[in-house]
Amino acid sequence: MEDLRELLRGAERVVAFTGAGVSTESGIPDFRSPGGLWSRFDPSELTFGRYVVDAAVRARSWQMRREFFAKPVQPNAAHRALARLEQAGRCLGVVTQNIDGLHQQAGSRTVVELHGTAREVMCLGHAPTSGVPDGCGWRAPYTWAFEALDAGDPDPSCPRCGGLVKSATVSFEQVLFPGVVEAAYDLVSRSDLLLTVGSSLQVYPAAVLPEVALGSGARLVIVNDEPTPLDRRAALVVRGRAGEVLGPAVDALV
């Protein structure tokens, strides 16, 4: 812990990269863990390609989204610590794999959401192909969809153009939103310390961002409860839960 404080103290442009492990202490289980959503919903069924052709898949996806929001969740000590670091001018922002919006709720202002956000729904257009949304640009808070479903519309469509509506997340087999990876690369390449928290760093672009940071001369710190493939490249590896590690580490600084 003292080593982590020392590294943070010496850094002026921290960028945090966060995965599911940063939100588990808020009560959001990792999708793939026992009790996670994918133990009850089949991911191979809820792909982008199937969503756009099958109303039953859309209905099942809305049901899954309702379960995601069934229990109110709050940011935890890790989200709050990263927000404080940014407000103190020590952190350029957060790149996250999470779709829960908890970084923004905690007060982080610069947040790049690689997989979109469950807090909004968006128009996909009438017949998007190849995993790319083709909508009119309409978006609304996620509650719009639940209100439409509750009002008796089993398959809510875009009020502006009549296109399909989906959670503004990146589904399986869906292409990442334009500009998002570039924004993540840009932020990370300007950092002097990349703090990865709660990500196994195994999938693209998560596995690449530490390389980008190291290539631009930044130091790498990994906070995770399990080993990652990049541990040996890190200046420091801390095993533990995100809030329990980051809360006290940042308390000592700001």
CB of 155 to Zn ion, least distance (A): 14
Tokens standing for residue 236: 């420091």
What is the distance in angstroms between the CA of the first residue and the CA of the last residue of the chain?
A: 16
Q: How do 139-141 and 236-239 pair as beta strands?
A: unpaired
Q: Are 218 and 194 in contact (CB under 8 A)?
A: yes
Whichever of 136 and 253 has its CB closer to Zn ion, that residue is 136
Nearer Cβ to Zn ion, position 168 or 201?
168
Q: Catalog residues that contact Zn ion under the rule CB under 5 A.
A: 123, 135-136, 138, 158, 160-161, 163
Other CB atoms within 10 A of residue 201 CB: 21
> Rounded to the nearest whole angstrom, what is the least distance from the CB of residue 145 to Zn ion in the complex?
14
Structural Rg of the chain based on CA atoms: 19
What is the number of residues in the chain?
254
- The helix/strand/coil state of 115 is coil
User: What's the distance, CA 230 to chain centroid?
Assistant: 20
Planar angle of CA 39, 40, 45, nearest 5 degrees: 100
Q: Is 161 annotated as a binding residue?
A: yes
Q: Which residues participate in catalysis according to the annotation?
A: 115
Q: Which tokens go with 43?
A: 């991911």
In the complex with Zn ion, which residue's Cβ is closer, 56 or 161? Answer: 161
For tokens 């779709």, the residue is 99
Q: Please state the closest distance from residue 118 (CB atom) to Zn ion, in A.
A: 19
CB of 124 to Zn ion, least distance (A): 8
- Establish whether 91 is an annotated binding residue: no
Between CA 141 and CA 149, with CA 144 as vertex, the angle to 5 degrees is 145
Per the CB < 8 A criterion, the answer to whether 94 and 110 are in contact is yes
Whichever of 109 and 160 has its CB closer to Zn ion, that residue is: 160
Instruction: Compare residues 156 and 198 and give the one whose CB is closer to Zn ion.
Output: 156
Q: How far is the CB of 121 from Zn ion (least distance, A)?
A: 11
**Binding site: residue ranges?**
123, 136, 158, 161
**Binding site for Zn(2+): residue ranges?**
123, 136, 158, 161
